[in-house]
Structure 1
Amino acid sequence: MTMTTDPLVSTEWLAAHLNDPHVKILDATFKLPGVLPLPKDDYLAQHIPGAVFFDVDAVSDHGSSLPHMFPSAEQFGRDAGALGISNDDTVVIYDAGGWVAAPRAWWMFLSFGHAKVRVLDGGLKKWLAEGRPVESGEASPKPATFTAAFDPKRTRRMDQMIANIASKAEQVIDARPTPRFEGTVAEPRPGLRSGHIPGSRSVPYATLFDADTGVMKSLDELRAAFSGAGVDTAKPIVTSCGSGVSAGVLTLALYRLGVENPALYDGSWAEWGEQGGPPVATGAA
């Protein structure tokens, strides 16, 4: 896998390009509701030099009752431009812990037509472990012009997911931890039902990276994780999770395996699990 095809970049690569004016760094740290300190506070305390905070909740459709849904192309373009990003820039995205939202932000950029986007392998965790520099405080990026064009093939709506239960045209893979998938614990978002989309497979996102180093696992290990869950990477795939964020980790891993056209169910369980919603399955896949 080459730099032009691998969606990951190394800490060594980023360190060598910190002063490149056409490399823009985003901290996309995200946490579940109620977890403190807030991601923005973590960013203000320490971040990779030059990094700007990418707020998954802010860069979203504020007209939706669902959390952090994809915004319009116009809004994404405005928001990316306000972060100092132009269409000519290479964007490198990381998060501070646990591989949660950097892949989501990466997929958003791809979905809005920006191919020059990468995820920092190991994120801030690996960066700090190597003793690399950090800074604190707010960044003041110079506004830029970013023109976005949305590719609807990269996301799925609920009606498409409902139709897929009958057609089985696409494999659905759920990134949530096993107890949430099986419906044996309550969802962290109050009021949601427990369980999973009928027919879906379970690949918990945290199994795809090394918890100690923060590095994504090898291609062979990624391949084994999906095949072990009964996923055929040669057939169409949709990723899902709690609210469309950690599903991006599966999407990123699949992309690394050469699956360049997986879709992401944007509403995910925050939508499907609502009271009175579509059918729910419980137990093992």
Structure 2
Amino acid sequence: MTSSTDDPLVTTDWLAARLDDPKVKVIDASFKLPGVLPLPVDDYRSAHLPGAVFFDVDHIADPNDPRPHMFPGAEQFARNVAALGISSVDTVVAYDSGGWVAAPRAWWMFLAFGHPKVKVLDGGLKKWLREGRPTHSGEVVPKPGKFQARLDPGYVRSQQQLAGNLATHAEQVVDARPRPRFEGTAAEPRPGLRPGHIPGSRNVPYAELFDANTGAMKSLDDLRQAFKGAGVDLAKPIVTTCGSGVSALVVTLALYRLGVRGSALYDGSWSEWGLPDGPPVATGAA
């Protein structure tokens, strides 16, 4: 079970009471698939939580890696985050549009780079707006912060590690993509990728972990049932994966809420594994 201090989620009430706290920094980490308009940064400029800065998942990434938004080096992460006005002493609260796609990605990056004081706003902008809370428009220009980062490599996995896992089955692989994409019956949004999933992986679609109406994450019992129904053993090591290493972290967040620690992200995810010359793929149900 997750104690309240250890819960990665915070409520809209909690955040509303702390918007004036200079040590609480709010980031909008909304993300959309390539080609979907308006761009998340334009949505941010139209309406964001008071004082929030935009955390660009595609920009806070390794610029020299052809794969989408791969983890940057620690030096770059520290530089990008400090430019957002965030310092190592601050508590960071990440939110997204309320579709739960990318706030958990930002949360996991902060944890991976050694910053434990990071939370996710339950329900995101969607819940905030439903409750009639205020938003601002335009850009926030913060005073640069002082941030130190050091990557713990245990938070991420490479294709090589996942390929090795095909033989050892040392880690369970949980895929967050919608069922038709996992089973290989629907095309990937990124062109040129093979359909299907990593052999032996389980499917827990990220969209099934939150309430589509309120935007809030489901209860601990519902989350537990989602993993159990997919054949995932919460007592054994887990790696999460998805299309490009973003929505997988919704699954990671749910696992974290259930007390699971030490899980990892396959950062390359299907945008790497699904390439034409990639490792073996499986299709159909898990």
Normalized against structure 1, the TM-score is what?
Answer: 0.99
State the alpha-carbon separation in 1 of the partners of residues 105 and 262 from structure 2. 15
Match of 1:147 in 2: 148
- Structure 1, residues 142-188: CA drift from partner, whole Å, max 9, x if none? 10110001000010000000000000000000000000000001100
Pairwise CA distance, 1:97:
3.0
Pairwise CA distance, 1:218:
0.4
State the alpha-carbon separation in 2 of the partners of residues 176 and 3 from structure 1. 29
Match of 1:196 in 2: 197
2:233 aligned counterpart, secondary structure: coil
Match of 2:26 in 1: 25
User: 1:82-231 residue pairs with structure 2 within 5 A?
Assistant: 82-231=83-232
* Structure 2: 5+ residue stretches without partners: none
In 1, are the aligned partners of 2:98 and 2:127 still within 8 Å (CA)? no
State the alpha-carbon separation in 2 of the partners of residues 83 and 33 from structure 1. 24
1:131 aligned counterpart, secondary structure: coil
State the alpha-carbon separation in 2 of the partners of residues 53 and 212 from structure 1. 25
1:71 aligned counterpart, secondary structure: coil
1:253 aligned counterpart, secondary structure: helix
Match of 1:252 in 2: 253
Pair 1:242 & 2:240 matched:
no
| Percent of aligned pairs sharing the same letter | 72
Pairwise CA distance, 1:49:
0.1
State the alpha-carbon separation in 1 of the partners of residues 5 and 83 from structure 2. 26
- Structure 1, residues 84-133: CA drift from partner, whole Å, max 9, x if none? 00010000000013100000000000000000000000100000000001
Pair 1:50 & 2:51 matched:
yes
- Structure 1, residues 196-230: CA drift from partner, whole Å, max 9, x if none? 00000000000000000000000000000000000
* Structure 1: 5+ residue stretches without partners: none
Amino acid at match of 1:77: A
Pairwise CA distance, 1:2:
3.5
Amino acid at match of 1:157: S
State the alpha-carbon separation in 1 of the partners of residues 189 and 42 from structure 2. 22
State the alpha-carbon separation in 2 of the partners of residues 260 and 117 from structure 1. 15
2:139 aligned counterpart, secondary structure: coil
Pair 1:266 & 2:267 matched:
yes
RMSD of Structure 2 on Structure 1 (CA): 0.6
Pairwise CA distance, 1:3:
3.7
Match of 2:13 in 1: 12
In 1, are the aligned partners of 2:105 and 2:247 still within 8 Å (CA)? yes
Runs of 4+ that moved beyond 3 A: none
Pair 1:62 & 2:63 matched:
yes
Amino acid at match of 2:138: G
In 2, are the aligned partners of 1:173 and 1:200 still within 8 Å (CA)? yes
Aligned residues: 285
State the alpha-carbon separation in 2 of the partners of residues 166 and 260 from structure 1. 24
State the alpha-carbon separation in 1 of the partners of residues 283 and 3 from structure 2. 41
Amino acid at match of 1:172: V
In 1, are the aligned partners of 2:95 and 2:103 still within 8 Å (CA)? yes
Pairwise CA distance, 1:260:
1.5
In 2, are the aligned partners of 1:3 and 1:9 still within 8 Å (CA)? no
- Structure 1, residues 234-257: CA drift from partner, whole Å, max 9, x if none? 000000000000000000000000
Pairwise CA distance, 1:261:
1.1
